[in-house]
Amino acid sequence: MEERLKTKTIEDVANALGISKTTVSRSISGKGRISEITRQKVLDYIAATDYRPNPNAKGLANARTYNLAWVIPGDSELASLSFFQSCLQGVLDAAAQQDHDVLIVTVSPGNISGLKRVVENRKADGVILGQSLDKDMAVDYMKSSGLPFVVVGSTYDPEVLQVDNDHISACSELSSILKMKKPRFVTLIGGDQEIIVNTTRRQGFEAGINPVRHSVYMNCVTVEEIERAVEGALSDGADCLVCADDRICYHALNRLKRDGVRIPEDMRVASFYNSRLTEDFEPSITSLHYDPAELGARACRLLIDRIEGREVPGRTLLGYEVLLKASTR
């Protein structure tokens, strides 16, 4: 009757109940034939005494770790951090539901040693890549490793499991809506083309905006580059500005304000991505809205399905919302 500090094992449970370890194991896992009555007895006992299976022992026997690795760039922009944070929350929730935990790994361009560590040491059963670049060492490495993985975002490689927002449709739809406002000239300020989504957004933009006259400035990353693009838009005679993401939008807005450009009277402004960065801007900004947490959760579930050998779709596209606000009135 005395409680020991030593953690309980499956054997303790078996002894206490006068049955064998096998039976206990089967009750927990649900594998193998077992009478519902003994099963319930075991489950009740376990719940009452809060026995917890030792994950190492379980892992050793099953060749699993019940861990996933979540990989993000170590050098993210402030703005991307909030995306990764939401996305991570989705991953964590979904992982916890299936009794998995999440190892965090950072990579930077040219340095994927952290990822290699985890994969080579087999500390995770699968990997979620939080962002995909055009030419991505991490993706190449994961492909060669043989470990299951999924990327959040799109890849050109059709063999890679991917979960993404439907950026093409979303950007195209928002662009069409802007087109209906009969702008004279529209400028897109796009982000780093190494990041695939930026190219995708551009494609959606082109698809939706034609045949309206327009210009595109890609690879705007630094504040200077963004401001230069704004100047470009102004001298192009644009009366509508579309920003690839909220960080770009944020700096563009600051610039426009400084120049005394009125929004939306002189210039309509919209963003292909929204987040907390631009949310309390005046006037409120028309933008696309996605659900990063859902993205993470889906990626996670997909990965676990994949790990456990279930059939999974190669590509999953999630929905979006168009938020029409004062900035494009």
Partner DNA sequence: TTGAAAGCGCTAACAA
Partner DNA sequence: TTGTTAGCGCTTTCAA
Q: What is the DSSP letter of 276?
A: G
Among 57, 193, 203, 266, binds a second copy (CB under 8 A): 57
Query: Residue 180 binds what, of DNA, a second copy, none (CB under 5 to 8 Å, by partner type)?
Result: none
Query: Residue 45 binds what, of DNA, a second copy, none (CB under 5 to 8 Å, by partner type)?
Result: none
In the bound complex, what is the minimum distance in angstroms from residue 79's beta carbon to a second copy? 8
126 near a second copy, judged by CB under 8 A = no
Query: Residue 19 binds what, of a second copy, DNA, none (CB under 5 to 8 Å, by partner type)?
Result: DNA
Closest CA to 205 of 155, 246, 240, 170: 170
SS3 content of the chain, % helix, strand, coil (to 5): 45, 20, 35
Q: Are 154 and 132 in contact (CB under 8 A)?
A: yes
59 near a second copy, judged by CB under 8 A = yes
- The reply to whether omega before 283 is within 30° of 0 (cis) is yes
Residues 6-45 that bind a second copy (CB under 8 A): 7
Query: Residue 235 binds what, of DNA, a second copy, none (CB under 5 to 8 Å, by partner type)?
Result: none
Among 15, 22, 40, 111, binds DNA (CB under 7 A): 22
Query: Residue 257 binds what, of a second copy, DNA, none (CB under 5 to 8 Å, by partner type)?
Result: none
Q: Are 299 and 163 in contact (CB under 8 A)?
A: yes
Among 94, 102, 186, 304, binds a second copy (CB under 8 A): 102
Which of helix, strand or coil describes residue 92? helix
Judged by beta carbon, residue 113 or residue 144, the one nearer a second copy is: 113
Among 9, 38, 106, 145, binds a second copy (CB under 8 A): 106
Number of residues that bind DNA (CB under 7 A): 32
Question: Measured between alpha carbons, how far is 251 from 256 in angstroms, rounded to an integer?
Answer: 9
Query: Residue 281 binds what, of DNA, a second copy, none (CB under 5 to 8 Å, by partner type)?
Result: none
Query: Residue 10 binds what, of a second copy, DNA, none (CB under 5 to 8 Å, by partner type)?
Result: DNA
Q: What is the DSSP letter of 278?
A: G
- The reply to whether omega before 55 is within 30° of 0 (cis) is no
Beta strand 286-289 with 268-271 is: parallel
* Strand ranges for 166-246 from DSSP E: 185-189, 213-217, 240-243
Q: Are 230 and 255 in contact (CB under 8 A)?
A: yes
Q: Within 151-267, where are the H helices?
A: 167-179, 196-209, 223-236, 246-258
Half-sphere exposure (Cβ direction) of 266: Cα atoms closer than 13 Å:
10
Residues 28-67 that bind DNA (CB under 7 A): 28-29, 31-35, 37-39, 52-54, 57-58, 60-63
Residues 217-246 that bind a second copy (CB under 8 A): 223
Question: Measured between alpha carbons, how far is 318 from 292 in angstroms, rounded to an integer?
Answer: 10
Q: Are 10 and 24 in contact (CB under 8 A)?
A: yes
In the bound complex, what is the minimum distance in angstroms from residue 300's beta carbon to a second copy? 13
Query: Residue 43 binds what, of DNA, a second copy, none (CB under 5 to 8 Å, by partner type)?
Result: none
Residue 179: alpha-carbon gap to chain centroid = 30
**Contacts with DNA, residue ranges (CB under 7 A):** 6-7, 9-11, 18-23, 25-26, 28-29, 31-35, 37-39, 52-54, 57-58, 60-63
**Contacts with a second copy, residue ranges (CB under 8 A):** 7, 50, 52, 54-57, 59-60, 65-67, 70, 74, 76, 78, 81-82, 85, 88-89, 92, 96, 101-106, 113-114, 117-118, 120-123, 223, 276-277, 280
